[in-house]
Amino acid sequence: MPDSTPGTETLQLRDDFPPVPTADWEAAIHKDLKGADYDKKLLWRSDEGVTVRPYYRSEDVAGLSAQAEALPGEFPFVRGSGEPWEMAQEETPNPGAIRADHFHEAGASAVQELGYAIAAGVEQLAELTALRASVDQAAREMEFVFATGSTFFFEIAKLRAARWLWAQAVSAFEPKDQAACLMRIHVRTSRLNKSLYDHYTNLLRVTTEAMSAVIGGCEHLTVEPFGFDPRLALGVQRILREEAHLDAVADPAGGSYFVEALTDSLAGQGWKLFQQVEAAGGYRHALESGSLMAALGVTTAARQKAVSTRRRTLVGVNNYPELLEKVADATAAPESGNPFPQVRLAEPFERIRARSARHVRRIGRYPQVLLLKRGDLKMRMARANFSLNFFGCAGFDIVQSDELAGQNPDLIVLCSSDPEYLALAQEVCPKVSAPVIVAGNPKDLIEPLKAAGVQGFVHVMSDAVETLNHWQDRLGMEP
């Protein structure tokens, strides 16, 4: 007789949970959206031009069996070597290493890192084999250095894609042993996204970056301290190994439909860029002609614009600032030997805050911004919170009140609802000498509000760097 002891029943998962067709999932999603635009609500288009879907299913990895079914340590090495990573806090890459991290610090996208790194690697491999070194020996001696940033899954997929691309490139040289096609990767955490202010957020950033590196299959990992004790940088690696046990599983992201599809997408675009570089004369020609730097410049400008307009958030930099932190405690030491201009996306906001600090030394106090909250509760609170984050990123002192009495602000921000703004502006502007601006973009009331004395507007479409610099100029701050 079957065992009838409670808790020992045989589960019939296939019968109890039958497969749900994708069409049914899509129908349920559209129903929940209640007419809202599917693409705008649920699709994310990354800096690399990759469109990320809200969910992935087996059909999204159809045709990827060579990638998805290979074991760790097997060609095409998407799943890595199968060996745990080594902590390399004091280790420096060898002088001949392919420095994809230099592209990263110049603002490159993941696709550019991949395409240019493979082009540089192929050129170096060709030169080494021309010197009578065997392909197997030359490929085994080569090392690649990547940097991992904050986009967690993209960084995992980037390293997996790099291995796939390099395996394909080396196999074209016909090595005797397929093991020679394994890419040796040293990863370090990024400097691109680090900040001098609210610097302990950098510790949080390197934690996810180190996880991306490990899950992506690096051989060596360096966690760079930026504004925090080097002991903590080593501690991150120890926690990932000793407490999170990330060294106990080879390729923990393997089998994830999302990661497999993302790996394939980045690899495809990276290979396309590599082919374009090769067709145009190779890596060295791209470097010497300036085309590589020009391409990086376009990507960098787009990244900087996204941060400036706050479409991309850097916590503690362009949103959610630490209001009590007025002076930067961290310092940045640029790496020597990088042939490209190094970029940190926080720098424009750091210059704004440093300007406010210099102003304090000159006049003895920080500029004060009064958030004058009136009217509709939901709108005034939402707009006051927006304005607090917006002007707090400049290092200003922020005061919130529903009254003018007893305040001596340098700048007044009206926080209310669109229908209530005109009456509020007509009340406030004649009573004050400080400039008055409106939190929001009431398009039909712009001219009447200006006529009432309003001198500006801040809203989600504002360029924060331009706007904050403008008001620093208006408040008489020296450059």
What's the pLDDT at 334? Answer: 63
CA neighbor of 201 nearest in space, from 349, 346, 301: 346
Residues in the chain with pLDDT values less than 70: 1-4, 6, 334-336
What's the pLDDT at 19? Answer: 87
List, for residues 313-326, the tens digit of each pLDDT value: 999 999 999 999 88
Q: Provide the residue type at 100 as one letter.
A: A
CA neighbor of 349 nearest in space, from 301, 315, 392, 317: 317
What's the pLDDT at 87? Answer: 96
What's the pLDDT at 335? Answer: 66
What's the pLDDT at 4? Answer: 63
- Single pTM value for the model: 0.93
Domains, the chain: 51-308 (3.20.20.240), 361-474 (3.40.50.280)
What's the pLDDT at 16? Answer: 80
What CA dihedral angle connects 343, 347, 348 and 352, to 10 degrees? -170
List, for residues 139-174, the tens digit of each pLDDT value: 999 999 999 999 999 999 999 999 999 999 999 999
What's the pLDDT at 338? Answer: 85
